[in-house]
């Protein structure tokens, strides 16, 4: 593996998780071993100490009953019986001088500890010590105890079998631990790989997407774990991006189409005038037409900008207290002449006052769009009724007409930018009025909905909260 690959491998989450797993496993096993080892050691020492103390008891009873000779003989026999390499007895005077002992040929390196004698003379009943015999692996546990006011017993017992047991225990532990650390690292690696495989799938999909295929999705398993949640959220985000991109694509196509028509018209008029126009009035008419078409274009571009700003919140709404009933009455007055021209009856059902906090300029614009549409799409003889009602929290505006209506297939799309139903193509319009109305309603924390039936009429309902959106 090259150095770069090694560094990358060491930085992977799977490697670090494995390392942590194996590390924690090793540390906790070592702690468990140390605890166990300490427990066993102290248990063995306790047992040896009990044995040594029981020897002291036996010898002091024997001394009291049968005298010094008896304990000297018994010491020799006892040591012989237990094994001269296993145990020894030595009788000392108060000055620490040995005056009798069992066979000490094996124990000749073991001296008499002055401090222990002093401790006994100071009044302690017994003193323990553990010493290691040079050149031998084993340790010896030694007990000094007063047998009588003038005799001290030094008794020692080899801890060889215990040492052998503990050595064996250590060896087995080290071998088992080494094996287990490898197994733990293997299991840790397997588990870490399983855990990060989901993340890798998300990464692979993200890489494919950055290479240009937005259709790809991360496979979601059925476990419902964190990785699945990540994959689902990632897929949802992709769905959303795809929808947005499709909308942007459609919108730019519509925009290009809607820009092309007036520009083609302007160009056509200019060309015809240049080719055929002889009089000043023909040039004047061309200029007037050009201005009209340019106004239309400007109107469209300004409306587009306004929708974008309102939706993004860049165009901050003013938050003033406004009388919506008054605004609706003004709008009805404004549209009355055009309704009359078309032979449409315009009704206005509004309370005396209806207060809410919002941007009056924007709300006026929204009302104008709804009223303009209602009159535009209602044939002569029809009726348009605007009404305002309210409850504790919101004000409801309804613009109802008896016009051509909207087909069920068009209804869900009328609020999209540039969407115009086929039957409305004969009417003037750019397909942005309802998009702006919806952006304004939402910017106020409200909503706009439409119900309609073809040839029966439509009803647009706007709900606005009385207190402005923060
Ligand atoms: P436009 O400039 O075409 O009126 P809008 O965004 O205001 O654009 O409306 C989008 C489409 O919704 C219209 O083209 C029309 O098909 C339909 N529409 C809107 N209002 C009405 C209505 N009151 N009656 C029937 N159709 C309507």
Measured CA to CA, the distance from residue 467 to residue 444 in angstroms comes to: 9
Residue whose CA is at the smallest distance from ligand 1 atom 25: 405
This prediction has a pTM of 0.57
Q: Ligand 1, residues 434, 439, 453, 457: which to mutate, most atoms within 8 A of Cβ?
A: 434
Q: Which of 303, 335, 406, 441 to mutate to test the pocket of ligand 1 (most atoms within 8 A of CB)?
A: 406
* pLDDT the model gives residue 160: 77
For ligand 1, atom 7, which residue shows the shortest CA distance? 433
Contact 451, 459 (CB under 8 A): yes
How does DSSP classify residue 423?
Answer: G
Per residue in 270-293, pLDDT (tens digit) is 898 888 877 888 889 889 989 988
Q: How far apart are CA 255 and CA 27, in angstroms?
A: 68
Instruction: Give nearest CA residue, ligand 1 atom 11.
Output: 420
Q: Which two tokens stand for residue 293?
A: 């078409």
Residues within 6 Å of ligand 1 by CB:
369, 373-374, 377, 401, 403-406, 414, 419-421, 424, 429-435, 458
27-74 pLDDT, tens digit per residue, is: 998 898 889 888 988 888 899 999 999 999 999 999 999 999 999 999
How many CB atoms are closer than 10 A to CB 78? 18
Residue nearest to atom 20 of ligand 1 (CA): 373
Secondary structure (3-state) at 217: coil
CA distances for 391 relative to 17, 47, 247, 351, 388, angstroms: 59, 89, 36, 12, 11
Mutate to test the pocket of ligand 1, among 409, 427, 431 (most ligand atoms within 8 A of CB): 431
Nearest CA to ligand 1 atom 13: 420
Asked whether residue 469 carries a pLDDT value surpassing 70, the answer given is no
Between the alpha carbon of residue 218 and those of residues 222, 236, 373, the distances in Å are: 13, 10, 45
Please say if the pLDDT value at position 77 is more than 90: yes
Nearest residue by C-alpha to atom 3 in ligand 1? 431
Model pLDDT, residue 1: 59
Average pLDDT of the chain is 88
Both tokens of residue 401?
A: 């007409």
């Amino acid at each position: 593996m090259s150095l770069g690959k090694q560094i990358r491998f060491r930085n992977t989450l799977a490697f670090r998780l494995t390392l942590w797993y194996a590390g924690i496993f090793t540390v906790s096993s070592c702690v468990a071993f140390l605890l166990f080892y300490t427990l066993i050691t102290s248990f063995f020492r306790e047992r040896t100490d009990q044995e040594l103390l029981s020897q002291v008891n036996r010898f002091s009873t024997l001394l009291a009953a049968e005298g010094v000779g008896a304990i000297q003989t018994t010491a020799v026999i006892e040591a012989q019986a237990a094994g001269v390499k296993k145990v020894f007895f030595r009788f000392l005077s108060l000055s620490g001088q040995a005056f009798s002992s069992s066979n000490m040929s094996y124990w000749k390196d073991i001296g008499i500890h002055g401090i222990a004698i002093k401790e006994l003379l100071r009044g302690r009943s017994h003193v323990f010590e553990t010493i290691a015999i040079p050149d031998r692996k084993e340790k010896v546990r030694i007990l000094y105890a007063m047998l009588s006011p003038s005799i001290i017993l030094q008794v020692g017992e080899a801890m060889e079998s215990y040492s052998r047991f503990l050595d064996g225990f250590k060896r087995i532990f080290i071998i088992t631990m080494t094996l287990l650390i490898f197994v733990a690292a293997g299991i840790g690696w397997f588990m870490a790989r399983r855990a990060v495989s989901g993340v890798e799938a998300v990464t692979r999909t993200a890489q494919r997407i950055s290479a240009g295929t937005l259709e790809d999705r991360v496979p979601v398993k059925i476990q419902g774990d964190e990785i699945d949640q990540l994959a689902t959220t990632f897929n949802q985000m992709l769905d959303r991006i795809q929808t947005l991109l499709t909308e942007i694509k459609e919108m730019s196509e519509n925009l290009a189409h809607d820009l092309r028509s007036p520009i083609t018209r302007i160009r056509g008029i200019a060309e015809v005038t240049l080719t055929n126009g002889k009089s000043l009035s023909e040039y004047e008419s061309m200029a007037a037409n050009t201005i009209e078409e340019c106004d239309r274009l400007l109107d469209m571009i300004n409306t587009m900008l306004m929708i974008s700003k309102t939706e993004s919140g860049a165009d901050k709404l003013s938050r003033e207290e406004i009388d919506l009933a008054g605004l609706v009455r003004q709008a009805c007055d404004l549209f009355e002449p055009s309704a009359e021209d078309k032979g449409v009856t315009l009704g206005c059902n509004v309370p005396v006052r209806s207060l809410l906090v919002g941007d009056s300029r924007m709300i006026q614009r929204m009302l104008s769009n709804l009223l303009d549409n209602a009159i535009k799409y209602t044939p002569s003889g029809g009726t348009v009724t605007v009404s305002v009602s309210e409850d504790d929290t919101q004000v409801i505006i309804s613009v109802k007409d008896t016009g051509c209506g909207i087909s069920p297939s068009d209804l869900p799309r009328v609020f999209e930018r540039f969407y115009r139903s086929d039957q409305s193509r004969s009417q003037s319009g750019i397909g942005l009025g309802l998009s702006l109305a919806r952006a304004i309603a939402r910017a106020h924390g409200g909503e706009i909905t439409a119900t309609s039936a073809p040839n029966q009429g439509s009803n647009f309902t706007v709900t606005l909260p009385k207190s402005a959106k923060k």
